[in-house]
Amino acid sequence: MKIYTGKTIEEALQIAAEEQGVAVEELIYAVSDKKKGLFAKKLIIEVYDLSDIVRFAEDYVLKVIDNLGIESTLHTVLDNDIIRITIDSTHNPVLIGKNGKTLQALNELTKLAVSNHFKKRFRILLDINGYKDEKYNRLRRIARKCAHEVQKTKTTYTFEAMPADERRMIHNACSGMPHIRTESTGEGTHRQVQIIYID
């Protein structure tokens, strides 16, 4: 974290952007406090980089798991704009939960904590011993199989409600298939993917 000051937020952001060699829109920052200068009030902003976000997310995950009385270690990698955190613990099945519900809840809580703290949304994906990767591979196979069925029958197929990252896998698996379009419908936790036949 670095601290910058200016008479206005815009001035402080411009100084930070120039020093860091990025556009103002790319900065991750928080307005810290008003500071009285010798002649005028100055604003203080705290500018973060991606390592601050990763550290905060890791600390949050570890704190939640520690509160459950479970020992764990984390391994984090940046994959394009996704922060991927792999958890290894003494009780992996407990943290995964039935159909991955506990892992999904922990993922959502982590994203909320990070976005509330940094006032910006980040793509964070938690996984335990490759559970998510296996689930994604299974979803891709099912999606393509269902899409082939839709091509034959011309009847729309609707999946059960699922989280955004899993819906994305279905959209990606079906993209480019002839006569097939995918669409997400519903709101919030009830959002579903449909595979639709098009002429």
Identify the band that residue 34 occupies on the pLDDT scale cut at 50, 70 and 90: low
Q: What is the DSSP letter of 186?
A: S
Whole-angstrom CA distances from 119 to 26, 40, 60 are 13, 28, 16
**In angstroms, rounded to a whole number, what is the distance separating the alpha carbons of residues 56 and 72?**
16
Q: Tell me the per-residue pLDDT of 117-129, one tens digit each, with 9 for 90 and over.
A: 888 889 999 999 8
**In angstroms, rounded to a whole number, what is the distance separating the alpha carbons of residues 7 and 25?**
19
Mean pLDDT check: name the lowest of 4-18, 86-100, 114-128, 144-158: 4-18
Asked whether residue 169 carries a pLDDT value surpassing 90, the answer given is: yes
User: From the CB of residue 180, how many other CB atoms can be counted at a distance below 10 Å?
Assistant: 19
* Mean pLDDT, rounded, of the chain: 89
Asked if 182 contacts 162 with a C-beta cutoff of 8 angstroms, the reply is no
Q: Which residues contact 38 (CB under 8 A, 6 or more apart)?
A: none
Higher per-residue confidence, 108 vs 25: 108
Q: Tell me the per-residue pLDDT of 55-96, one tens digit each, with 9 for 90 and over.
A: 999 999 999 999 999 999 999 998 888 899 999 998 999 999
pTM of this prediction? 0.75
